[in-house]
A and B are shown apart, each in its own frame.
Chain A
Amino acid sequence: MQKEMESRRVRSSMNAVIVACDMVTAYGTGIDACWNGIAAGKSAITPVTRFGTRTFQSSYAGIVPGLLYHQASSLVMQMLVSLFSRSSGIIPPDAMLLLATTKGEIDFLEMNILNDAADAAESSLKRLLEKTTELTKVTGMGMVFSSACTSSSAALGYAAALIQSGKTDCILVVACDSVTEFIFSGFSSLMALDAVPARPFDKNRSGLNVGEAAAYAVLMSTDRAAREQRHLLGRIAGWGMSDDANHMTGPSRDSEGMIIAIQKALQSAGMDSKTIGFIAAHGTGTLYNDAMEMRAFHAVFSDQVLPVYSIKGGIGHTMGAAGLVEMIIALKAQREKKIPPTVNLTVPDTDAAGWASGTSQTLDQRTTALITNAGFSGVNTALILAEQ
């Protein structure tokens, strides 16, 4: 008994807690800008002007105000510079760096092919890792994590695992992706875009809008956070990763991969489904993704109805940054005791009725969040976010 209690104490001293975070989204710089916009039900999705969209399926995207396209500094680097100019004294120099992105500085490749104005090799993820290391001044090991639109949630899960296992006690997770002609044309070719601002979980939804964002979170062991007298924002209690092994771009029709990811997350957190108070869903606004997620939620939470929301009607689908941005908004929801509305949702689809809503709701005593993400190649992630 004493041994078990000691082991429990050691485990809890190595819990992965979030001690700092920040973001840049289409609402502007800072968490409050994004939270306030979403909570007010206002969308930051606007027509794109940085390249022509006449021949594409849509002209809408979640664009960060003030960024300059095809300049010496890439779109993601402009966002990261803005973000880390606000982080003085927050990031420990010995932190390990996990950088999550799908396409990083792909605008350099565009510039190279369009007018030979840049070196295409500058678009490599390894190069972005070097620049981010320099920008954040961290000296720990650096690594890029890229698993499509689950990149940052996978990085967060892995970071939590490293801390829980005692392999390290501080990790900086950085995520970024931008809206470029390369990416926009690609999603359009897949017929994935909504011609109007995206409507996740709505009966009349017809696609996603791409969005850009950069964000970071500092994760620490409970012990180190206590030593450094850090304010605890929340705790990553569990995580799960899976693959559908089914299709490159379409989600599974039986939701089995997402169900596995959620079950792994609950298991690693040592929780059952009744612990979860709300769900921050991937909710892209495509017909198939949202239906796949709702099937998974119905299967896992069989006899319950939980509040579900998506923030992608507000900021668009921020690709590799989505999981981290969504975790930060879930932290804010826990603190504010409020479930944000799903922006642009007016008539919930049959499977989402009673779960997703276009209006905000008060969060009851069950505040633990489930955060889900999915992406190309059939990847799925689930994170369990507990209040500290």
Chain B
Amino acid sequence: MRRKLHYDFHAPDERYALSKHDIFSYPFKNFGRLDSLSRITVAAVALAFRDAEKPYSPDCKQAIGIVGTSKDGSLVSDREYFKDYMQGGRTLSRANLFIYTLPSSPLGEAAIHFGLRGPLVYATASTDTLPALMTIGADMIDAHQSNMMLVGRAEQDEALYFLLGGNSEQGSFSFLDMQSIVSTMDDIPSILQASSDLQEKKGVA
């Protein structure tokens, strides 16, 4: 199943705008507290689950991991935290801003809401990060660290996540979905190439 939904959290266009109620299958606790990168990450992950027709619930944690990236890591949240600390007279800082200064924090928010019990890693490569991340996802499944892996990239105004799963045929992998919010078409050819390379390495046509 392949679909593409468009959503801009910062300046929603009437034609495409979705509310968070359309995206999550149950309410996201304290969604407003999340930093912008976490919001768009969890939305993309929710759409990936929906597109893969993979249910999730607050009562059931699953052996699914997540590996994600972003071009600037947590730079926006880093600035926000430290500027706020400076404006506060360099005495006290806000814990709620500090927790988003790790590049892996958006993945942590996804893990909590979707009950992801598998590996959680932020990674960035010297070249072609997304295909490299897909390889990490496949390696994690191969090493029995997780049954499925969410792999993706999030920026302030666009995100792409997909669910990678080992299928019944030994040593092969399949995309369960590919879902994007806002256009990230630049990534698509490299992902497809990486997918094809992976399948080839595993001896699957």
Q: Is A162 an interface residue (CB 8 A)?
A: yes
A247, B105: Cα distance in complex, Å: 11
Evaluate contact between B119 and A124: CB separation under 8 angstroms.
no
Tell me whether A144 and B124 are in contact (CB under 8 A): yes
Chain B residues lying within 8 Å of A120, measured Cβ to Cβ, are: 75, 78-79
Contact of B144 among A129, A186, A244, A264 (CB under 8 A): A264
Q: What 1/0 mask marks residues of chain A from 236 to 268 whose CB sits below 8 Å from any chain B CB?
A: 000011111111110000000100100010011
Distance in angstroms from A316 CB to nearest chain B CB is 18
Task: Assess whether B98 is in contact with A190, with CB atoms less than 8 Å apart.
Answer: yes
CB distance A143 to B143 under 8 Å? no
**Does A376 contact B124, Cβ atoms closer than 8 Å?**
no
The answer to whether A146 touches B103 (Cβ under 8 A) is yes
A102 interfacial by beta-carbon distance below 8 Å: yes
Interface residue? B104 (CB, 8 A)? yes
CB of B11, distance to nearest CB on chain A (Å): 25
- Interface size (A, Cβ < 8 Å)? 58
Q: Do the beta carbons of A243 and B78 come within 8 Å of each other?
A: no
Give the one of B91, B115, B145 with max A CB within 10 A.
B145
The interface bits of chain B over 49-77 (1 if a CB of A lies within 8 angstroms of the residue's CB, else 0) are 00000000000010001000000110100
A377 and B91 CA atoms in complex are apart in Å by 26
Min C-beta distance of A368 to chain B, whole Å: 20
Q: Are A190 and B121 in contact (CB under 8 A)?
A: no
> B85, B126, B132: which contacts A133 (Cβ < 8 A)?
B126
A379 within 8 A of B: yes
| Interface of chain A residues 346 through 375 with chain B (CB within 8 A) | none
B126 touches A143 (CB 8 A): yes
A249 to chain B, nearest CB (A): 6
Which of B106-114, B160-168, B181-189 faces chain A?
B106-114
Given A124-B73, A142-B125, A161-B143; A55-B111 close (CB under 8 Å): no
Docked complex Cα distance between A219 and B171 (Å): 25
Does B139 contact A147, Cβ atoms closer than 8 Å? Answer: no
Contacts of A142 in B (CB 8 A): 125-126
CB pair A377–B117 under 8 Å, yes or no, is no
Cβ of B143 and Cβ of A243 under 8 Å apart? no
Provide the bound-state CA to CA distance between A186 and B94, in Å: 7
Residues of A within 8 A of B65 (CB): 241, 243
A154 within 8 A of B: yes
A68 within 8 A of B: no
* A110 in the interface (beta carbon within 8 A): yes
| Binary contact readout B83-96 vs A (1 if CB under 8 angstroms, 0 otherwise) | 10110001111110
Q: How far, in Å, is A119 (CB) from chain B's closest CB?
A: 11
Q: Does B194 contact A (CB under 8 A)?
A: no
B181 CB → nearest A CB, Å: 22
B95 x A186 contact (CB < 8 A): yes
> Judging by beta carbons under 8 Å apart, are A162 and B118 in contact?
no
Q: What per-residue 1/0 map shows which CB atoms of A295-321 lie under 8 Å from chain B? A: 000000000000000000000000000
* A-facing residues in B135-160 (Cβ within 8 Å): 136, 139-140, 142-145
CA distance A170 to B205 in the complex (A): 30
Flag if B101 contacts A378 (CB, 8 Å): no
Contacts A141-B126, A245-B61; A154 near B121 (Cβ below 8 A):
yes
Residues of A close to B18: CB separation below 8 A: none
- Partner of A377 from the list B120, B123, B124, B139 (CB cut-off 8 Å) is B120
Q: When A376-B99, A377-B102 are in contact, do A242 and B118 touch as well, CB less than 8 Å?
A: yes
Asked if B116 is at the interface (CB within 8 A of a chain A CB), the reply is yes
B83 touches A165 (CB 8 A): no
CB distance from B147 to the nearest CB of A (A): 12
Q: Is the CB of B94 within 8 A of A248?
A: no
Assess whether B82 is interfacial by the CB under 8 Å rule.
Answer: yes
In the bound complex, do residue B121 and residue A146 qualify as a contact, i.e. CB atoms below 8 Å apart? Answer: yes
- Whether the Cβ atoms of B119 and A242 lie closer than 8 Å is yes
- The yes or no answer to B173 lying at the interface (CB within 8 A) is no
Interface-centre pick from A144, A167, A182 (highest chain B CB count, 10 A): A144
Contact between A267 and B144, CB atoms less than 8 A apart: yes
Task: Judge if A121 is at the interface, Cβ distance under 8 Å.
Answer: yes
Residue A185, interface by CB 8 Å: yes
Neighbouring A residues of B61 by C-beta, 8 Å: 245
Whether B9 is near chain A, meaning CB under 8 Å from some CB there, is no
Residue of B nearest to A113 (CB): B82
Beta-carbon nearest neighbor of A265 in chain B: B145
**Alpha-carbon distance between A162 and B114 when the two chains are bound, in angstroms:** 28
Question: Are B125 and A121 in touch, CB under 8 angstroms?
Answer: no
Given A126-B124, A245-B116: A165 and B143 interface contact (C-beta under 8 Å): yes
Determine whether B7 belongs to the interface, using a CB cutoff of 8 Å to chain A. no
Chain B CB within 8 A of A58 CB: no
- Chain A residue with Cβ nearest B72: A124
A sample of 5 cross-chain residue pairs with beta-carbon separation below 8 angstroms, ordered by A number, consists of: A120-B79, A241-B140, A243-B108, A376-B104, A377-B111
Query: 7 tightest A-B contacts by CB?
Result: A377-B108, A186-B98, A241-B119, A142-B126, A55-B91, A189-B95, A146-B122
Binding site for A on B (CB under 8 A): 61, 65, 72-73, 75, 78-79, 81-83, 85-86, 90-95, 98-99, 101-105, 107-109, 111-112, 114-127, 132, 136, 139-140, 142-145
Given A124-B72, A125-B103, A377-B107, 4 other A-B contacts at CB below 8 A? A186-B101, A191-B95, A241-B119, A376-B108
